Amino acid sequence: MTQNILSSAFLLVSLLVLPPLSLADDESPAKPVPSAEAILKASNKRIYELKDQTSQVTFRLVNTDGTEKKTVMRLYWKNYFGKDNINSKTLLVTESPAHDKGEKYLLWERPEEKQADIWLYLPELRQVRRLQSGGHHHHDKEDDSELVFEDMHQRPLERDEHKLLADEEVRGEPCYVIETHFKDHPLYSKKTSYISKKEGTVRRIDYFSDEGKLLKTQWIEWQQVGESLVWKGSEVVNAQTSRKTFVELSNVKVNVGLSEDQFSERALRQ
């Protein structure tokens, strides 16, 4: 489940925390109907508002035959606000299944795609291994999850083309609908994002192939902790196979004062 966990972790840190503000409160010039770029900018700039966060994360991969893989981890996340070319650092500590207990993953997310630093600690060997952040693609036959690294990174808005479509509801929530056409994406031709008109949170994302075929759909649910909105869970469904990946967060705490020393390669061995 290594790729499943790492990809899910990237997904968490890419859209981890948002304050409960309406898009209408953004500093962009008031418009009867905001542009696609303005909506995306307002949503993106609210990412990484918190200093840190801890939570319990449950990853579930449900196959079409009903079989399920489940991993429970403890998540520690610290915001670096771009200091030293680092957006954030994440530590994941495996709690179950029993044969993986004690495994640790350390991720340093950087502004540029495919530049993340990732380490894996194996308790039985007492070894720390450096892992690659790229190379896990949607078309790989051995994929262990519907989530891939390329889904997680926040691409610069000017890199792609964006179009505002007609509003829709996602599970009862009125949303802006924005179609993004990628100029140089390795996996997709476009994606459609559904962004809450009230909160500015991403509620749904559809991903499409070069032929325009729907590949998968992701839903995201949010919960309020203090004055901020954080993930409650996410569901990703493969449109071709109906296989599903679930990410569920519980026991969430924010701004607890995590130490910088906790997110080092040396700390993995402790």
Ranges 23-32, 124-133, 153-162, 249-258, most confident? 249-258
Assessment of whether the complete model's pTM goes beyond 0.85: no
What is the per-residue pLDDT for 3?
A: 56
Q: Which residue has the higher pLDDT, 137 or 67?
A: 67
- What DSSP string describes 181-194? E-SS-SS-SEEEEE
CB 139 within 8 A of CB 216: no
pLDDT band for position 185 (cuts 50, 70, 90): confident
- pLDDT(20) > 90: no
**CATH no. for residue 253?**
2.50.20.10
How many CA atoms within 13 Å lie on the side-chain side of 73? 29
pLDDT attached to residue 133 = 66
The pLDDT of residue 163: 97
Q: Would you state the structure tokens that stand for residue 210, as one six-digit string? A: 């070069």
> In terms of Cα–Cα distance, which of 214, 228, 198, 250 is closest to 57?
250
- Looking at per-residue pLDDT, the higher value among 208 and 2 belongs to 208
Higher model confidence: residue 41 or residue 252?
Answer: 252
pLDDT at 28 over 80: no
Peptide bond preceding 97: is omega within 30 degrees of 0, i.e. cis?
yes
Q: How many domains does the chain have?
A: 1
Domain membership of residue 244 as a residue range: 2-268
Q: Could you report how far apart the first and last alpha carbons of the chain are, in Å?
A: 23
